């Protein structure tokens, strides 16, 4: 799988582009939002916790980035109308969408399938798959209105090879890969919108700590370290690439550039 951790983007890579990031208030989403803004994008910060989104808004403003927009939204319980209202707001404010990073995610719990709670299963599928699917549908006309739109769906190693005890999370990431393939194949003949998945790999965030409580976080790459592939996929360098599964960092033991 392709990995672009050595990519050195120009400072104005995303200038003039409008990019929406979900789960923009924490972890990888926060780093992506800040990084995209640093490279010139106007951000639409989507997430469930307003105070976290406001903090990222302030960070972007302080760094001198384009003024972002904040749109609080909880994938658990969000309705089709909410996604359509979001699209209407973006249509009114910007008239198009040049980038969509589906990053928000819920781990659920790691446990044997025989004990997996059905309500938790539904919640994980809602946040990781169903919500992003209907949000994408609502935003498609705005993506089509862009000359060079990129949709990036966040996957995981367990979305490419199943692993014991990873239950709904693993299945939701396989579904993410499937949704990417269906949409990319469907759009390719007629549209310039590209659709790909990106596996961040082991990254120092709250979610990773939840999954691996005994791991020393200092041994992991930070969200900022893995931004080159995010920038490559969001910017014009990835034009023509669609329907592909990318990795943000090389697998353990493989040096950058060889993955």
Residue whose CB is less far from ligand NAP, 68 or 200? 200
E strand or H helix at 132, and its extent? helix 131-144
Q: Does 202 bind ligand NAP (CB under 6 A)?
A: yes
How far apart, in whole angstroms, are the C-alpha atoms of residue 42 and residue 64?
A: 12
Q: How far is the CB of 90 from ligand NAP (least distance, A)?
A: 17
Q: How many CB atoms lie within 10 A of CB 164?
A: 10
How far apart, in whole angstroms, are the C-alpha atoms of residue 214 and residue 208?
A: 11
Task: Classify the phi-psi angles of 126: left when phi > 0, otherwise alpha if psi is within -120 to 50, otherwise beta.
Answer: alpha
Q: How far is the CB of 190 from ligand NAP (least distance, A)?
A: 29
Stretch that binds ligand NAP, among 11-19, 47-55, 135-143, 239-247 (CB under 6 A): 47-55
Q: Does 105 bind ligand NAP (CB under 6 A)?
A: yes
The helix-helix angle for 131-144 and 80-93 (nearest 10°) equals 30
Q: Does 152 bind ligand NAP (CB under 6 A)?
A: no
Q: Does 52 bind ligand NAP (CB under 6 A)?
A: yes
46 neighbors 20 (Cβ within 8 angstroms): yes
Q: Does 208 bind ligand NAP (CB under 6 A)?
A: yes
DSSP 39: T
Q: Does 170 bind ligand NAP (CB under 6 A)?
A: no
Q: Does 45 bind ligand NAP (CB under 6 A)?
A: no
Name the site residues for ligand NAP (rule: CB under 6 A): 23, 25-29, 47-49, 52, 74-76, 103-106, 127, 154, 156, 199-200, 202-203, 205-208
């Amino acid at each position: 799988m392709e990995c672009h951790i050595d990519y050195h983007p120009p400072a104005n890579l995303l200038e003039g582009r409008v990019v929406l990031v979900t789960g923009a208030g924490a972890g990888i989403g926060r780093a992506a939002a800040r990084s995209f803004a640093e490279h010139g994008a106007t951000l639409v910060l989507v997430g469930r916790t307003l105070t976290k989104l406001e903090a990222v808004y302030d960070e972007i403003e302080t760094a001198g980035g384009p003024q972002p927009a904040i749109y609080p939204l909880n994938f658990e319980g969000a309705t089709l109308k909410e996604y359509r209202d979001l699209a209407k707001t973006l249509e009114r404010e910007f008239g198009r969408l040049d980038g969509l990073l589906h990053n928000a995610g819920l781990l659920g719990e790691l446990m044997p399938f025989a004990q997996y709670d059905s309500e938790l299963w539904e919640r994980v599928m809602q946040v990781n798959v169903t919500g992003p699917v209907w949000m994408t549908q609502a935003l498609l006309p705005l993506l089509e209105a862009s000359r060079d739109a990129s949709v990036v769906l966040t996957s995981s190693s367990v979305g490419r090879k199943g692993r014991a005890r990873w239950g709904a999370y693993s299945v939701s990431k396989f579904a993410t890969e499937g949704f990417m393939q269906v949409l990319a194949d469907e759009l390719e003949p007629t549209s310039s919108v590209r659709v790909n998945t990106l596996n961040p790999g082991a990254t120092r965030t709250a979610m990773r700590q939840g999954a691996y409580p005994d791991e020393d976080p200092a041994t992991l790459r930070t969200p900022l370290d893995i931004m080159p592939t995010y920038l490559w996929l969001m910017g014009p360098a990835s034009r023509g690439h669609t329907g592909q599964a990318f990795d943000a960092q090389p697998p353990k033991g493989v040096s950058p550039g060889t993955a």
